[in-house]
Amino acid sequence: MGLSFDLDATEKAWLSRLARQSIALAVGAEPVMPGVTGLTEALASPEAPHGDDHPVLGRPLGAFVTITLGGNLRGCIGTIVGREPLEETVWRMARAAALEDPRFPPLTAREWARANLEISVLDELTPCPDPARIEVGRHGLALQYGGRTGVFLPQVPIEQGWDREAYLENLCRKAGVPQGSWRMPQARLFWYEAQVFPA
């Protein structure tokens, strides 16, 4: 296993600008790209890194955008499977994290001025061959069982201080299924790696 891509500094900076512009437009804050009012304009701007030098930006990779405020979660939305170019996914997930996370009210411009942003770009999910091989902090997980699904980003168990067992049990809780469901023959456990960076 290992990441099938490696975002360079230019690509990370560009995805960060896209996410920040998307959120700024969504909450009515000062834009980071003046005059840019939508994704199409952003992608057409001279600063957009395109072409053969940056193919990963056009790959249909999954991505999550996480907003924190004072060290506390304020919004996190993403997709584990990419269905459009990564740039478009990050733009959409950033707006959704600000406005559409059902756990929180919409982010305000005042909050955004103090918030921190993190982007997680996900590699392809594959079936986990052996839960004993899961490395806390390296592998993100997705569990499907009984028609329910739960997903954790690789950084979550580190942030929560979980070992592998706690990671798997909390994944069951996230999916809304009984503890230990990950051990059941009908359960489908997937793992993946991600590149995570502050935006």
Average pLDDT by stretches of 10, the chain with 199 residues: 87 97 96 92 89 87 96 94 94 98 96 97 94 96 95 94 97 96 96 95
Q: Tens digit of pLDDT for each residue in 169-186?
A: 999 999 999 999 999 999
pLDDT tens across 106-115, in order? 999 999 999 9
Beta bridge partners of 78: 64
Domain architecture of the chain: domains with CATH? 9-123 (3.30.700.20), 126-194 (3.30.1490.150)
CB atoms under 10 Å from CB of 122, counted, come to 27
> Are 109 and 31 contacting, i.e. CB atoms less than 8 angstroms apart?
no
> How far apart are alpha carbons 48 and 137 in whole angstroms?
31
Long-range Cβ pairs for the range 109-115 (8 Å, 24+): 109/27, 109/28, 109/29, 111/27, 111/69, 111/74, 112/23, 112/24, 112/27, 112/29, 113/29, 114/69, 114/70, 115/67, 115/68, 115/69, 115/74
Partners of residue 77 on adjacent β-strands: 65
Q: pTM, whole model, 2 decimals?
A: 0.88
List Cβ neighbours of 154 (8 Å cut-off, separation of 6 or more): 120, 137, 138, 139, 140, 193, 194, 196
